[in-house]
Every structure is written in structure tokens, then in C-alpha cells.
Amino acid sequence: MRIRAGFNLTYECPQPIPMLLVLEIHPSRRVDLLTEQVIGFDRPLEARGYIDAFGNACTRIEAPAGRTIISTNFEIYDTGKSDVIVPDAVQHDIKELPDDVLRFLLGSRYCDTDRLGDFAWANFGDTTPGWGRVQAICNFVHDHIAFSYQAADPMRTAYGALTDRTGVCRDFAHLAISLCRCMNIPARYCTGYLGDIGVPPAQDPMDFSAWFQAYLSGHWFVFDARHNRPRIGRILMATGCDATDVAISTSFGASRLAGFEVVTEEVQAVNCKSLWEVRCITIDQ
């Protein structure tokens, strides 16, 4: 499967502002690129890339005063297979966890586990440890929260998602991650592209998506409490403890997101053939 993805983001800054961007695909997916992914700017500015502590590809810039458009457009290969389901994946004892996984048991900015521990054990303590327990958490979060772009709140934590019972994909992820951590299951936040591939198209404009991974049987497995079903064509951008670590942009000063467009779609083979036929006709003429 061939997927076309990209974005156009417009920022307005009253003065030059240092910014941190997390807009590249995850280094683990670079091998699948069919075209180069380059983060472009409509104005001259210096950009420097680096890999952060979570293994994400990040970019540092100083956005000039005024309006700046940041964009990219690329195509990537995908197997076309849906998210893996492993019902017999087991939950590890904490003493068995690798050192670098332990951080994903701790509370974080949006995953306020200290407020959810009693609730988690009261509701999921009798579930089967491992895959079954994570799936039970996903089922609960999926049924408990009503998705609504109008209800988006950048200050809402996992506890807030539990009490408000509304939110966007990041709220589903934060609540599910927090409940997993309360049950001693390492869980980390994921952000990336998820197009309407293999499912009926959504009515809402395309956006970046949030899901999470749980550490079971020595592997990180994908779970998605918002959709709560295996999906096709995820393109991972970044992972972290919560949305703080993978924000598409962090501004160290005043800035405003004035334009936002994301594209994620399958490139149909018939379209490729049509383009080839047009090219042949043009050459013949």
C-alpha cells in the first residue's frame, strides 16, 4: 500500500520566536519512505534537527516575526495490514521490566495517575492481567468519552477526561494510558497520521491522530481507545509519556496557529496508471 501524507501549518508571531517542532515521521518508519520527507518553510530561516530522549526526530527553529508556513508532503509504503492483536500477550512483573520502560509507569503532565489509582483498581482489578486488561481499559474509555472537536481543551488531564466524559483523541489516549499505568502496565503516548483507510470516511477535517502503546510480552503493542478497533495505515511520528513530549510545536514566546491542514490518503493504483497513461500520451504528441 502507498500512502500520501503531509501538512501545511501557518504560524503568526509578533516577534522572532524560538520553536521546537516534532513533525517528522518516526525514525523507525524512514526505511518505508518512497519519497523524501523534508520539512519546508516559506521564508528563509535556520533549522537544526536532533533526536530527543524518546528517539523522536525533532527540529529547532526561530520563527521570524509575521506569518510563517511550515509544510511537508511525502509518500510512504505500508504493509496494508491492520493493527496486531495478541490476546495471549502477558503483563510483566515490575522487576522484569527493562530500565528504559519504567518511566512509562509514572505519572506525567497529562497522566495524573495519583488521582486515578483507586478508580483503576476498583474497576479493572478483577480483569485478566495482560492483553485482556488493556483491552478492558480501552473498552471502558471508548464507551465513557464522547468524541467532540468542540470539546477540545489543551489543559484537560486524564482525570479531567474521566469526569468531563468528552474530548478528542488525545483525551482517550491519556485516560487509557493513565489507567494502564495505575494497573502497573507500562504505556506510552503516540502521535502520527491515521487516514480513513479501510473505514468509511469521517465527516471532520483530517487531523493528526493520537493512540498509545502498551508494553506486554517484551513488546510495545498498539492500542487505540478512541476507535477501539484495528486500523490500517498508521504512520508513527513520535512517542512520549504524554502529549507534552510530542507536541507538534512548542513556542518559547507568543505565537498563534493561524492555519492547519493535514492530508493522509491511500494512493490508489488506478490513479498511478492514469497518470502514467497521460504521460505517455503527452510524450507521443
CB under 8 Å to 263, separation ≥6 — which residues?
4, 5, 6, 7, 73, 206
85 within a domain of the structure (yes/no): no
40 within a domain of the structure (yes/no): yes
Cell numbers standing for residue 77: 509504503
183 within a domain of the structure (yes/no): yes
199 within a domain of the structure (yes/no): yes
Query: Which structural domain range is residue 205 located in?
Result: 94-236
Per-position pLDDT tens, the chain of length 285: 999 999 999 999 999 999 999 999 999 999 999 999 999 999 999 999 999 999 999 999 999 999 999 999 999 999 999 999 999 999 999 999 999 999 999 999 999 999 999 999 999 999 999 999 999 999 999 999 999 999 999 999 999 999 999 999 999 999 999 999 999 999 999 999 999 999 998 888 899 999 999 999 999 999 999 999 999 999 999 999 999 999 999 999 999 999 999 999 999 854 443 333 333 333 333
Cell numbers standing for residue 39: 520539512
Cell numbers standing for residue 226: 478512541
What CATH number is associated with residue 277? 2.60.40.2250
This prediction's pTM: 0.92
Co-location of 124 and 168 in the same domain = yes
> Among residues 101, 24, 90, which one has the least CA distance to residue 56?
24
Domain count across the chain: 2
Co-location of 18 and 60 in the same domain = yes
Query: What integer pLDDT is reported at residue 273 of this predicted model?
Result: 38
What CATH number is associated with residue 220? 3.10.620.30
Co-location of 30 and 122 in the same domain = no
Co-location of 222 and 103 in the same domain = yes
Co-location of 37 and 163 in the same domain = no
Instruction: Measure the CA–CA gap between 225 and 100, rounded to whole angstroms.
Output: 24
Co-location of 201 and 256 in the same domain = no
Co-location of 165 and 198 in the same domain = yes
Query: What integer pLDDT is reported at residue 269 of this predicted model?
Result: 59
